[in-house]
Structure 1
Amino acid sequence: MEDVPYLTWLHRIRRLCMGSGGSTLETQFELEASACKELLTCCCERWAQLSCSGPTSESSMSIFEGKRPATVPIQKYGEHLSRYLDVSPVAVIGACVYIFKMLNRKEPVDVVSASNIHRLLLTALMLSSKFFDDGSYENAYFAEVGGVSVEELNSLEVAFLFGIDFRLNLTEAEIEKALQEIVRVRCERRLSQKRKAEPVEPVPYSFRCRDPVVNEFNEPQPVFSNADVQPVFTCSLKHSGDLIVGMTLEVELPQLDSAYPYVSDLGYRLIDELSISVAGVELDRMTGLHMLLKAVMSDAHSEYSRFGDMLNGVTVPGMLDSEAEIQDGEATTHKLVHVPIPFWFARAQVSNGFPLASLITAEAIIKLKLSPLSSIIQPPPDVRLQPRISILTDNVWLDPKVAFALIRSGPSKSLFQQNLHQDHAVDADLPVQRIELTCNKSVRRLLWLVTASDDPNQILPNSVLSSRLILEGYDLMSRGPVNQDTGERADGKYSELV
């Protein structure tokens, strides 16, 4: 136990006993406040299962016997202790292990009963708090909260220490065993509650009920043209369901009068910029080039090439690859293109879904700006193409109770998770370039993106040899060794090079 960092055990306790939900950036105080009460409740239920109804026979456990049976159940007593004793979850686990040590001694008559479990819990919790926590209350305060005298608690402390042979150190095996017991009790309790709960009427929705929704663009409909300044087209998201966990742009292209050269990555080349905003607040924004970049990065980790082709917005469901190949020097026309939109909530993670409950008093607007037609193909000067464009969303219906909890906790954190992109472009005339980044928000990822001068949509991989990130004059992130001659650090490769 001494070799394991405290916060490491704290996160393991949270993960095992309260589920894997919650950010890893939670503070120690938030972890302790959320886990301590649950741990004590599960421990008390486990000890209640092991306890017998009557008093124990004459043994070393007799000192923990009360003069009369306790009127407060052990579960309520545990809640009372967790409310007034500022103990950590690790101390609760330690108390649980100490009590198991008392039960696993050689004396077969030492058992937990309804008349001694309260004093056992109080004494074990006090010893564990003194041993594991940085700060602990005096015995007088524990006695006042626990409902016993100071003299009696002092005697109980000495008897408990002799009962476990003063073995206050915990092994990893002992902690894992205690955690497994607590998790088993927690699962049994949830299963029992689920069986007892009989809804008055059937619940109409389930967590896995999904509904594909088509969101049409407002008037005027999007058009492709050669204009230098492209208009912005808007689409209002429908309030259907509880979460949006996926979003796709569906583009039905018109039939071209003449053949044009084949265009790779057509889906993302059609988009100049796409954003989502609620109540006038922009939550996420990305360009077609950013989407293509994410697709290229996804292709690098894709196990199947066909899955990667789908991400590029080229392969259409129901269309064979051969139909999209160049035939007789001319490309066949893509009639239907599906482009996955990688907003933060549309990455196949239900836990990060877009909460539609936020649209009760506000409206979610998708803004689309198409690329100039001349940047994709070379049409006649006055050509205007009228495609049919819509937003397809993957909506999830939740259980009403789950949806209510989501409204109270999730949206405020997920909805305003702004995920904006900032571009800093330079011309690569010199081998060494200096780019000054001015960011008004925290930076999560830094990407070097090198494109061809004649074609901005063509990504040139492996074009950056090395990079350094200087923050206010200091190379804070470099881990390279210091050159003894110059006093400078070696280049650190922190950014993802594409």
Structure 2
Amino acid sequence: MEPSDRVQLPAGFENVDKNILAELIADMMDRLLAHNDQIPLSPESLTRFHSRSAPSISVLQYLERIVKFTNVENACLLITLHYIDQICARIPTFTVSSLTCHRFLITSVALSSKALSDIMCQNKTYAKVGGIPMEELNMLEREFLRMIDWRLITTREVLQEYYVNLVRTHSKGKYIIVGAQSSSSVSSDSDMDYESSRPASPSSSLTAVGTNVHNQDWAPHELSSILINTTTLSPEPLHPPTVEQNMAFQAFQQSSGMG
């Protein structure tokens, strides 16, 4: 597609239409799910985020529903990608797939809104929008916080890099940012709190988000995500599956006809 035929987007992620941002995120996540859904499920990889079957609603439809009924801010949508990178670097067995994506998204939006926004919904609203019981969302929040080590904030520069790369790697290439800002050109003055470590330079593609967990040679000193330096993180040690995970995995196999 010629640059002249593309839809021009604002330079800063704060000003882009929420539905377009949802489309960009869904486009990236669809590619991620297509890759991760090929990974065989193992007992130790089961988490509270796993559904017995993939929801019938698409990622884009789910994000559009969240945007419509929760009035989520752009930063809270974008930071989901940062959370994926952080959690996948810390917990090598976790996989964002069709079985985990929807629960992960609604939990991410609920927590990021509480951490970054002045106005947010109650959990009963997020649960209703997400299509899960409120008690389950409460448990997912606690598990999410454990997995990310309570690190719910990042810099504006990091979010801006995610936005630029979402546009750059969009599968249909129909969007363009004129005069796009990157971390080297964006002012450091921001309403968001800063982490002490600077992000590493991003790669040219977003397809690496959340995929480092599938590399059997993964090591904590490898830079395997697009915006984070994994040397600043403390990966959790690998443990054999618990009794609960083995039982849940057996039940999952039986319900899905895999056994």
- Alignment-derived partner of residue 53 in structure 2: 68
Higher RCO (C-alpha 8 Å, min separation 6)? 2
Residue 169, structure 1, aligned to residue 153, structure 2: yes
By how many angstroms is 1:109 displaced?
2.2
Matches within 5 A, 1:114-193: 114-172=98-156, 174-186=158-170, 188-190=171-173
Judge conservation of contact 2:22–2:77 (CA < 8 Å) in 1.
yes
Structure 1 residues 62 and 135 mapped into 2: Cα distance closer, same or farther (>3 Å)? same
Pick aligned residue for 2:29 from 32, 42, 47: 47
Once the two structures are superposed, the pairs formed by residues 27-426 of structure 1 within 5 Å of their partners are 35-51=17-33, 52-53=36-37, 56-59=41-44, 62-105=47-90, 107-172=91-156, 174-186=158-170, 188-190=171-173
Kept after mapping to 2: 8 A contact 1:96/1:124: no
- What percentage of residue pairs aligned between the two structures are identical? 27
Counterpart-to-counterpart distance in 1, 2:8 and 2:142: 34
Letter of the 1:189 partner, please give it: K
Question: 1:96, CA displacement in angstroms?
Answer: 2.5
Q: Is residue 116–residue 153 contact of structure 2 (8 Å, CA) maintained in 1?
A: no
Task: Assess, with a 3 A threshold, how the Cα gap between structure 1 residues 158 and 116 changes in structure 2: closer, same or farther.
Answer: same
Q: Which amino acid aligns with 1:122?
A: I
Q: Relative to structure 1, is the Cα distance of residues 174 and 61 closer, same or farther in structure 2, using a 3 angstrom cutoff?
A: farther
Task: Find the aligned partners of 1:61 and 1:45 in 2 and give their Cα distance.
Answer: 25
Query: What whole-Å deviation, never above 9, does each CA across 1:283-305 have from its counterpart, x for those lacking one?
Result: xxxxxxxxxxxxxxxxxxxxxxx
Root-mean-square deviation (CA), in Å? 2.6
CA shift in 2, pair 1:71/1:90, >3 Å: same
Contact 2:86 2:148 in 1 (8 A): yes
Preserved CA contact (<8 Å) 2:53 2:99: yes
Q: Which has the higher strand share?
A: 1
Distance in 1 (CA, whole Å) between partners of 2:83 and 2:8 is: 22
Following the alignment from structure 1 to structure 2, what is the Cα–Cα distance between the partners of residues 156 and 189? 34
Unaligned runs of 5+ in 2: 1-6, 176-259
Question: Whose radius of gyration is greater, 1 or 2?
Answer: 1
Deviations 1:384-406 (A, max 9, x none): xxxxxxxxxxxxxxxxxxxxxxx
**Residue among 19, 25, 31 paired with 2:9:** 19
**Which residue pairs with 2:192 in the alignment?**
none
Displacement of 1:175: 2.1
Residue identity matched to 2:172: R
Distance 1:167 1:144, change over 3 A: same
The aligned amino acid for 2:130 is: G
Distance in 2 (CA, whole Å) between partners of 1:154 and 1:41 is: 27
CA 1:60 to 1:160, structure 2 compared with 1: closer, same or farther past 3 Å? farther
SS in 2 for 1:62: coil
Distance 1:35 1:131 in 2: 22
Report the alpha carbon displacement of residue 164 of structure 1 after superposing the two structures with TM.
0.7
Structure 1 residues 186-233: Cα deviation after superposition (integer angstroms, max 9, x where no partner)? 3x32359xxxxxxxxxxxxxxxxxxxxxxxxxxxxxxxxxxxxxxxxx
Residues in 2 aligned to 1:20 and 1:181: alpha-carbon distance in whole angstroms: 14
The CA distance in 2 between the partners of 1:77 and 1:185, in whole Å, is 21
Q: 1: CA distance between counterparts of 2:49 and 2:82?
A: 18
Shift of 1:60: 6.1
Give 2:53's aligned amino acid: R
Tell me how far 1:120 sits from its aligned partner: 0.6
Q: 1:158 is matched by which residue type in structure 2?
A: R
Letter of the aligned partner of 1:146 in structure 2? G
Distance across 1 between alignment mates of 2:158 and 2:82:
7
Equivalent pairs, count: 165
Relative to structure 1, the CA distance from residue 68 to residue 20 in structure 2 (aligned partners, 3 Å threshold; closer, same or farther) is: closer
Task: Indicate conservation of the 8 Å contact 2:66/2:72, yes or no.
Answer: no
Q: Retained in 1: the 8 A contact 2:66–2:129?
A: yes
Q: Deviations over 1:22-78 (max 9, x none)?
A: xx9xxxxxx76x521111221122122112226743346521001222111111111
Report deviation, 1:184: 2.4
Shift of 1:18: 5.5
Distance 2:41 2:143 in 1: 16
Shift in Å at residue 176 of structure 1?
3.7
2:77–2:109 contact (8 Å) kept in structure 1: yes
TM-score normalized by the length of structure 2: 0.57
Q: Counterpart of 1:50 in 2: which secondary structure?
A: helix
Secondary structure of the residue that 1:189 maps to in structure 2? coil
Conservation of the 8 A alpha-carbon contact between 2:18 and 2:67: yes
Counterpart secondary structure, 2:169: helix
